[in-house]
Amino acid sequence: MTSDTADTATQADWAEQTHAEAPPEPPPSPWQRRLRRFGHAARPRADVRERLIQPYPEPGTRLWVSLGLSPDLAGRLARWSGWGGPLLVALFAGLIRFWNLGSPHAVIFDETYYAKDAWSLLQYGYEGSWTDKANDAILAAHQTIPLSPTASYVVHPPVGKWVIAVGEWMFGMNPFGWRFSMAVLGTLSVLMLCRIGRRLFRSTVLGCLAGGLMAVDGLHYVMSRAALLDLVVMFFVLAAFGCLLVDRDKARARLAAALPDDSDRPNALTGAKTSLGLRPWRIAAGVSLGLAAGTKWNGLYVLLAFFVLTLLWDVSARRLAGARQPWLSVFIKDTGWALLSLIPVAITTYLLSWTGWFFTKGGYDRNWAHGRAGLSPDHFTLPFIGLQLHLPQVSMTWVPEVFRSLWHYESQVYAFHVGLVSPHTYQSNPWSWLILGRPVSYFYESPKYGQDGCTAVAGCAREVLGIGTPLLWWSACFALLYVLYRWAFRRDWRAGAILCGVAAGYLPWFMYQQRTIFLFYAVVFLPFLCLALAMMLGAILGPPGATERRRMWGAVGAGTLVLLIVWNFIYFFPLYTGMTIPYTSWQSRMWLDSWI
């Protein structure tokens, strides 16, 4: 018996126990019997507490017993699987991410900005200036670091660069050093996704499946081995999502604890008047989202989306707990606390990330406000439509000069971002991201026969290609349709949460289609694609009440797709790591002309 079968069998046992405790139900209609052949299972009847707090099914032991272990040892291993499984998946992800991490020994793609900015932050607390041939000097056998304290104009906040700087502080200014932190975050994000998937689906198998899928995704793998900023955004967005999931469970547990002991029906006063009190996990989510925005501004869209998501979860919980007007109850009891826990916390975290710039004097525009009149802007340009609104100017001298200087600096950065339309060879439109229409080549060389391990007379190729595992992403397109169905027609909150994560990381880019943007921005919502695919694979495996024959064919179908995705990752592995391969082998991996 596979672990998948064991887990789903355990869920089936739990469902049967739940049905046994409930009053007998009428026999299914012919239409219900027909739906069951396609995997539909009626929801088990449960009281309000069980609906508020969905329990984790007891882990099954049949797999371990079948391997010859004693029932006692099998029980302990089954209980440890909630952490043991995710840790094993993360160990695998870490091993392949740290393998030969310093190769290629080069400054690839935008590492030329962020690796050097990170080193400058270590030296000065702000981004200094570099000579034109700084990359060659850094990579030379006798290294020199041509950094000067003259301030440099940069267009991204400092959090991601501070993260990169940790690795450089530990291992020096070299490819391994500036990629080290990315590999750590890449590995930890796989562990987080396993645990988040387990909490979301109440299934260790599906949680580990989601994390395992991300472990073998090419885009995540490449971004875990390159000193770029988008993986840092993804890490903190995923952390915030996990914090909000924990907050959801704890808030519902408080509502369930407040219900009268003898209530089979919801109590309206309980649902409306119970205060949920301080919610530290929501504050932790605010800190995480502040760090995401402090890496790149697209984290702000996620902040707004998650704020709405957590309030909708509160509405659902209070309705279930018996509130006659759940929207009003949430508005009175929860909205203010949610606002304070997320928005001001995120803004404070963002400002604290600029500490190095605040407490030094050499940063770009650091002293801009010194000696200037403290007047508010005379106009405001509406985002996305470019309409200018003229405003009366008022005195702003009460605002400290350092904050006025930062505001001016950030306004320049905003103007740069919305006006960035310079064409780039590897830019792509967000419409093409899900089908991997135009990947990004981070590094490319053409070694001749006898050079860099090239054994092909016709020559070889070395490339680091920023592209997802194709079969994973193309399967995820169908998975998104499935979770959309689950959310729209089955009101499945898990599907809604996944769609919220995808929408927050993906849809905002459609407002900037004229901008120079790239496929690797999509790594921010990649974890939610993996959750969607895991949810679809769970449906293919079969619901708890499915027959053994249905379960067997479901396991064959789901297992085949997973094995094909793993094979696809292995097949493209040389393009993710910059291995030297014959040019014909490189060409055979260019499945689409737009990949070249």
Handedness of CA 488, 491, 492, 495 (dihedral sign): positive
Distant-in-sequence, close-in-space partners of 558: CB < 8 Å, separation ≥ 6:
4, 537, 540, 541
For 370, list phi and psi in degrees, rounded to 5: -65, 120
Q: pLDDT category, 62, cuts 50, 70, 90?
A: low
Whole-model pTM above 0.85? yes
**b (16+ CB within 10 A) / e for 375-409:** eeeeeeeeeeeeeeeeeeeeeeeeeebbebbbbeb
| Cα Dmax for the chain | 82
Residue 570 has pLDDT above 50, yes or no: yes
β-pairing, 440-445 vs 388-390, is unpaired
CA 327/CA 333 separation, integer angstroms: 10
User: Do residues 531 and 480 lie in contact, with contact meaning Cβ atoms separated by under 8 Å?
Assistant: no
Which residues are registered as beta bridge partners of 375? 395
User: Do residues 439 and 465 lie in contact, with contact meaning Cβ atoms separated by under 8 Å?
Assistant: yes
373 exposure class (CB count in 10 Å sphere: 0-12, 13-18, 19+): exposed
User: Do residues 320 and 52 lie in contact, with contact meaning Cβ atoms separated by under 8 Å?
Assistant: yes
- Please write the tens of the pLDDT for every residue from 293-305: 999 999 999 999 9
Distant-in-sequence, close-in-space partners of 499: CB < 8 Å, separation ≥ 6:
480, 483, 484, 487, 528
Of the candidate ranges 103-117, 381-395, 474-488, the one whose mean pLDDT is the lowest: 381-395
User: Do residues 330 and 318 lie in contact, with contact meaning Cβ atoms separated by under 8 Å?
Assistant: yes
- Please write the tens of the pLDDT for every residue from 100-117: 999 999 999 999 999 999
Q: Give the model's pLDDT for residue 8.
A: 43
- Please write the tens of the pLDDT for every residue from 259-300: 776 655 666 666 667 778 789 999 999 999 999 999 999 999
Mean pLDDT of 186-215: 96
Distant-in-sequence, close-in-space partners of 57: CB < 8 Å, separation ≥ 6:
7, 10, 11, 13, 14, 202, 203
Tokens 């875990």, residue located = 224
CA 439/CA 427 separation, integer angstroms: 8
Instruction: Concatenate the DSSP letters of all residues of 462-502 into one string.
Output: EEEEE---HHHHHHHHHHHHHHHHHHHHH--HHHHHHHHHH
Q: Give the model's pLDDT for residue 391.
A: 75
User: Do residues 168 and 177 lie in contact, with contact meaning Cβ atoms separated by under 8 Å?
Assistant: yes
Instruction: Tell me if residue 360 falls in helix, strand or coil.
Output: coil
- Please write the tens of the pLDDT for every residue from 508-554: 999 888 889 999 999 999 999 999 999 999 999 988 778 888 888 99
Neighbours of 213 (CB within 10 A): 30
Handedness of CA 246, 247, 253, 256 (dihedral sign): negative
Residue 312 has pLDDT above 90, yes or no: yes
Q: Give the model's pLDDT for residue 17.
A: 39
Instruction: Tell me if residue 266 falls in helix, strand or coil.
Output: coil
Instruction: Concatenate the DSSP letters of all residues of 563-595 into one string.
Output: HHHHHHHHHHHHHHHT--EEHHHHHHT--SGGG
Tokens 């060409």, residue located = 587
CA distances (Å), origin 38, targets 178, 536, 545, 565: 50, 13, 12, 24
CA 78/CA 199 separation, integer angstroms: 16
Q: How far apart are the first and last CA of the chain?
A: 44
